[in-house]
Structure 1
Amino acid sequence: MDICVISNLFPPEVVGGAEKHAKADVNELVNRGHDVSVITTRSSSGGTYFSFEESELGGATVYRFTPLNAYSPIEHQSVSAWKKPIQHVVDIWNPHVYLLVKKKLCQISPDIVHIHNHSGLSPSVFAAVSSHEIPVVHTLHDYEALHVRTNLFDGEKISDPGIGMKPYQKIYRQLVEPHLDYVVSPSQFVLEKHHSEGVYSTVPCSRVPLGISSKSTDSVSSRPSNSDQLQLMFAGQHTHQKGIDILIKAVRKSSLENLHLNIYGKGPESSKLEDLASDEPRITFHGFVDDEELQDAYAASHFTVVPSRWYDNSPMVIYESYNRGTPVIGANIGGIPELITDGETGILFAPNDVDSLQGALERAASLPYDEIQTQVEETKSYCISNHIDEIISIYEDILR
């Protein structure tokens, strides 16, 4: 099968889990003998506004270009606030993206196109694909179809789409739904959130959990007992929606002297978070680390903590943690509870609640070590092979 993947970002340009997931899909499809191409963006510093930069990555052909936007997708976190309203207007339907993507698809002529995040590319990519009568599958990674705030978070709290977003949703549906053959969502929560607003309600849809390349979990047995020393970790962007401050406050409030929290990643709130934890010896900040070091960190931890404030879809960090034999303490919000069986594969706590998270830490310290071994066994179905089996089945049904 000749498959084209379209994603607003693609490694090595990474902001969140969606790009890592798209890359994992591409790798597995290539490993199974499919011809795979990728259309994605690059930063505006590249200057490739009217042509594609072609490269090979893991057996796939990657085409990168710079859309004519107020800023590139990789710059979204750091860009000046005044540029964002301009980008919202440009991103309604970008004719420059439409023309370039349409031309490239004519050249590569895939059997099917799978579109991931398209913020910065605009819904015009869907029309570009269907102009060649190529089937389109779309994976939902956020809430772009529901709100201009694609994460349904206003910087401080959840921002559910109200009546004011109905015109936006209507325009989005008109621009996207006629071109869709199938919609995939990693979580049932996200799918139902869209359906509750009438979005994608007439398009075939299903939940397909994400997957990750399997790694050995032998290192689990080398961890110290959690009753002797409780090792926790957080990995991700340092933004308010991630709830890292809640985790730091819960650790500070905890009476567990044998607890230690390792925080990985960076972001706009890094300095504020470091100040919050400055006099707490049980917390260490590591900044960005390479993937090998991050995988080692998962393997050395008793629990990964996901303290999200927002409607998190299906966090890649949970899959990565499970893959290294590490259960998860997660906020009971969005798609997170779909991945955690409380008391078996991890612990759930009330979102945005320091006391509830502190209680979860106390529970984590009291769990018997052999229960962690059981939790590891419960998570083996979240592998990239199972995920791609389902994705290929969808492709074949559409092409049949």
Structure 2
Amino acid sequence: MNILVANWTWFPSGGDWTYIENVTKLYEKNGHQVIPFSMQDERNFPTAYQKYFISNINYKNLNLNKKLTAGFKVLSKSIYSKEAQQCLENLLNTVDIQLAHLNLINHYITPSILKILKQKNIPIIWTLHDYTAICPESTFISNDKICEACKGGKFYNAILNKCKKNSLLPSIAASAENYVHHLNGYYKDVDHFICPSVFSYEKYKSFHFFEDKLHHLYHGYDFNGNINIQPLQKAGEKYIVYVGRLEKIKGVHTLIKAMKANPGIPLKIIGYGTQEEELKKFVAENQLTNIEFTGKKSKEEVWTLINQAAFLVCPSEWYEVLGFTIVEAMLLGKPVIGSNIGAIPETVIDNQTGLLFNPGDETELANKINKLFNDDALIAKLAGNARIHADNLFNPQKHFEGLKKIIPAL
């Protein structure tokens, strides 16, 4: 069958793209054709269907424009897209689609396209990569703290608390987006919602979000088919690694503070983000010579650096939906020290596949890092378990069988 796969980008953009890439290969392996629907971007992988993509929206530039008209432009585009509806209709008039698989479409393509799909009687599944449908801020973080004040559809709390970027206008836009999408019944048109972790499934369920349509299904990851890393160095420094965005919710600041107590343990920080300069300043002021910022790296370079590390640290302080960095580290046979929050404990099983610590607790994290780094036998034990656990959880064929139970026609 022809399967429409919709996502805000058609190029590597994070964990969402890792899933897109894997599920696309999975569909094609099982005899289906994937028809992409996304946004125009020079970084997109080439496709014959690019002419149907919506025009590019650069929210960063729009947000820099402080004029009220720019604010309303951001607001309108993030809620309802007539262009996306027209582009999709043009595509559907050209290609016979039997199934639509939606991913990250909020703020760009928008859920307004659901009406078009429903009019064509196309079955719709939506993989929930974040919490946008129940949290205007998408992460359950408000002013650097976990917040569930919008539970029960009380999205006005996002405005009262200035949840989005700690700014009034973005918070109004985010709140309005949720109200419009729910009041217009867009989500009712979806046949099945897929949650990538038990935690996200239970969280959506606790918000009474279409409980009869929710399914828990771990992502499939054909890692052996994707991996391309350099061979291990025979001799080199022993180090630990962090991979991810340099943002407050990722807990990098807690990790760096923990490294003050471990001056003899080298840490490589891979990634970039809005806190990069602030974190580098803290490292310089505290003369932490054991910390290296590598900047952004290619996927292959990241895999190589993880593969040569003793273990990975994931110090997140938000409700991680899954955490592909952890998955990749474990598939490479690396244990993980992770914070006990969100879906992280589903992969990091304490004292089995890694070690857990309380999010934000720099002292506990420092102790766990010191304990694991100086115990090669424990590293080896946890590493073996981590690989087995990840192979079992994220088996591609198991993921496809799960999709078939939801959509028997597959």
TM-score band, normalised by shorter chain: 0.7 to 0.9
Cross-structure match for 2:191: 181
AA at the equivalent of 2:23: D
Among 216, 220, 242, which residue is 1:207 paired with? 216
Q: Secondary structure at the match of 2:125?
A: strand
Cross-structure match for 1:131: 119
Cross-structure match for 2:256: 248
Q: Deviations over 1:16-46 (max 9, x none)?
A: 2112211221122223331111101124x89
Cross-structure match for 2:100: 113
Q: Which runs of 5+ in 2 are unaligned?
A: 157-174
Among 31, 34, 58, which residue is 1:33 paired with? 31
Structure 1 residue 270 corresponds to structure 2 residue 276? yes
Tell me how far 1:288 sits from its aligned partner. 1.0
d(CA) in 2 for partners of 1:111, 1:373:
42
Q: Deviations over 1:115-134 (max 9, x none)?
A: 00112111112222111100
Contact 1:144 1:151 in 2 (8 A): yes
AA at the equivalent of 2:195: S
How do residues 201-350 of structure 1 correspond to structure 2 at under 5 angstroms?
201-203=211-213, 205-215=214-224, 230-254=238-262, 257=264, 259-278=265-284, 279-350=287-358
d(CA) in 2 for partners of 1:353, 1:85:
41
Cross-structure match for 1:165: 155
Q: Secondary structure at the match of 1:342?
A: coil
Q: Deviations over 1:113-158 (max 9, x none)?
A: 1000112111112222111100000001111111221122235222
Residues 29, 210 of structure 1: alpha-carbon distance in 2 compared, 3 angstrom cutoff: same
Residues 332, 177 of structure 1: alpha-carbon distance in 2 compared, 3 angstrom cutoff: same
Contact 2:232 2:307 in 1 (8 A): no
Tell me how far 1:55 sits from its aligned partner. 3.4
Contact 1:262 1:285 in 2 (8 A): yes
Contact 1:40 1:63 in 2 (8 A): no
Tell me how far 1:188 sits from its aligned partner. 1.7
Q: Secondary structure at the match of 2:38?
A: strand
TM-score by structure 1 length? 0.84
Cross-structure match for 2:128: 140
Cross-structure match for 2:17: 19
d(CA) in 1 for partners of 2:232, 2:45:
44
AA at the equivalent of 1:373: G
Among 54, 60, 64, which residue is 1:80 paired with? 64
AA at the equivalent of 1:317: T
Higher RCO by CA contacts (8 Å cutoff, separation 6 or greater):
1
Tell me how far 1:347 sits from its aligned partner. 1.0
Q: Secondary structure at the match of 1:206?
A: strand
**How many pairs were matched up?**
377
Contact 2:52 2:87 in 1 (8 A): no
Tell me how far 1:208 sits from its aligned partner. 0.9
How do residues 50-61 of structure 1 correspond to structure 2 at under 5 angstroms?
55-56=46-47
Tell me how far 1:220 sits from its aligned partner. 12
Tell me how far 1:219 sits from its aligned partner. 9.3
Q: Greater shift after overlay, 371-380 or 306-315?
A: 371-380
Contact 2:54 2:109 in 1 (8 A): no
Q: Secondary structure at the match of 2:208?
A: coil
Residues 356, 224 of structure 1: alpha-carbon distance in 2 compared, 3 angstrom cutoff: farther
Residues 378, 197 of structure 1: alpha-carbon distance in 2 compared, 3 angstrom cutoff: closer
Cross-structure match for 1:65: 53
Residues 54, 263 of structure 1: alpha-carbon distance in 2 compared, 3 angstrom cutoff: closer
AA at the equivalent of 1:269: Q
AA at the equivalent of 1:384: P
d(CA) in 2 for partners of 1:100, 1:220:
42
Tell me how far 1:222 sits from its aligned partner. 5.8
Contact 1:219 1:300 in 2 (8 A): no
Q: Secondary structure at the match of 2:294?
A: strand
Q: Which runs of 5+ in 1 are unaligned?
A: 47-52
TM-score by structure 2 length? 0.82
Q: Secondary structure at the match of 1:325?
A: coil
Tell me how far 1:211 sits from its aligned partner. 2.6
AA at the equivalent of 2:273: G
